[in-house]
Structure 1
Amino acid sequence: MTCHSTDSTETAENERRSESESRVVDTDRNRIAAAMKDLKKTGWYWGTLTANEAKEILQDAAEGTFLLRDSSQRDYLFTISAMTSAGPTNLRIEYKEGKFKLDSVVLVKPKLKQFDSVVHLVEHYVLLSRTSCKGSGGEPPGPSLAPPNGAVQLLLTTPVYAAMPSLQHLCRISINKVTRRVQDLPLPNRLKDYLTDYAYHV
């Protein structure tokens, strides 16, 4: 008959729990670091911009113009500031369990899509908004873009750049809009690597 002390059992459980929590923290840290790396390439990530500064930048912009900045609220990492028909507004981005999604009312939250990166999230809603604006009979805007209570519709169509992006970057976006099969293009490997390093449409 083997007898284990309660202390040793609790210690083993605590060590396992600590290892598991450490893995989660490392995963979160890596996911957020990767998100930041992509964001810094976009040109429309403004960093520590305040809500008032974002409002001033968007004040005379067309509806659908947007930028992304750090959130001023401690529970959130990022905020999208966008121009609506009623003026500038802010929409926070939530990070939970390794995924990014738009913050919204509790009833809508389960319907909102989740993404591995912030740029992918923004790209998704930009494509939805542009399809909606064209009226091409494509997929309708998601619940966060067209509130059910008749409130102002949020469109994301045109990013505001913090600094003018390079011609190479703009070309990369244009090529990625046309094809997802960059590896099949008759280009040098170094150029393919550059194209796939930022494989987004916005």
Structure 2
Amino acid sequence: MTGLSSDSTETIANERSSETESRPGDSDQNRIAVATGELKKAGWYWGNLTANEAKEILQDTTEGTFLVRDSSQQDYLFTISAKTSVGPTNLRIEYRDGKFRLDSCLLIKPRLKQFDTVVPLVEHYVYLSRISKSSESASPPNGTVQLLLTKPVYASTPALQHLCRISINKTTKRIQELPLPNRIKNYLTEYSYHV
């Protein structure tokens, strides 16, 4: 999986940008609060979990299993902990100029997609992982380890309502056209992500 922008992911990115578009007057504090609120709704945000605790949780899982936690590095807010073919690893999420993106080497960093909040960032890489996994491409070059994000580890058992909301949002983008009470439509659109 790479962080490079591709035509196949532009649709999701365009849809998400209109949903989470930051207003010009938003402060960093407000943007971070919105991002944290979305993460809490997702259910796979573990908060103040250490790298060792994350490693222990992911140790016996399948490749691609992941969670998001608070970063132990002072310069970063969040970290994705994921199981790779060689064991658990951690990827820091950078917040700069009102946008979130994965931390990477300086050569690749300018080409990485940026997001208004963390959940669409994770959703983007889950989508790329599914494409990568379904194409069964060859091993990454130069002995590098491929990072896949395929299955979140929930901090607690998610509510059936939340799981249904994810399934419905995967099936249709026309929530307002569904024959449902407005209260349920509002619930479905509160968290419109597919992961």
Fold similarity call, TM over 0.5: yes
Counterpart of 1:82 in structure 2 is 82
Which whole-Å CA distance do the structure 2 matches of 1:129 and 1:63 have between them? 11
Counterpart of 1:169 in structure 2 is 162
Larger gyration radius, structure 1 or structure 2: 1
Aligned 1:9-28 pairs, distance under 5 A: 27-28=27-28
Q: Percent identity?
A: 73
Shift of 1:150: 3.6
Matched to 2:188, the amino acid is L
The structure 1 segments of at least 4 consecutive aligned residues displaced by more than 2 Å after TM superposition are 146-150
Shift of 1:132: 1.3
Which whole-Å CA distance do the structure 2 matches of 1:173 and 1:107 have between them? 35
Which whole-Å CA distance do the structure 2 matches of 1:52 and 1:102 have between them? 20
Which whole-Å CA distance do the structure 2 matches of 1:70 and 1:152 have between them? 23
Counterpart of 2:10 in structure 1 is none
Which whole-Å CA distance do the structure 1 matches of 2:125 and 2:174 have between them? 22
Provide Cα deviations, 1:70-110, integer angstroms capped at 9, x if missing partner: 00000000000000001100000000111000001110001
Shift of 1:148: 5.7
Counterpart of 1:131 in structure 2 is 131
Provide Cα deviations, 1:156-191, integer angstroms capped at 9, x if missing partner: 000001100000000000000011121111111111
Which whole-Å CA distance do the structure 1 matches of 2:157 and 2:119 have between them? 18
Counterpart of 1:194 in structure 2 is 187
Counterpart of 1:72 in structure 2 is 72
Report how many aligned residue pairs link the two structures.
172
Kindly tell me: are residues 110 and 149 of structure 1, through their superposed partners in 2, closer, same or farther at Cα, counting changes over 3 Å? farther
TM-score normalised by the chain length of structure 2: 0.84
Provide Cα deviations, 1:92-138, integer angstroms capped at 9, x if missing partner: 000011100000111000110000110000001001101211228xx
Q: Within the alignment, does 1:91 sit opposite 2:110 as a pair?
A: no
Other structure's SS at 1:131 match:
helix
Which whole-Å CA distance do the structure 2 matches of 1:147 and 1:122 have between them? 21
Other structure's SS at 1:75 match:
coil
Kindly tell me: are residues 25 and 53 of structure 1, through their superposed partners in 2, closer, same or farther at Cα, counting changes over 3 Å? farther
Counterpart of 1:119 in structure 2 is 119
Counterpart of 1:17 in structure 2 is none
TM-score normalised by the chain length of structure 1: 0.81
Other structure's SS at 1:81 match:
strand
Gap runs ≥5 in structure 1: 1-23, 141-145
Greater RCO, 1 or 2 (C-alpha within 8 Å, sep 6+): 2
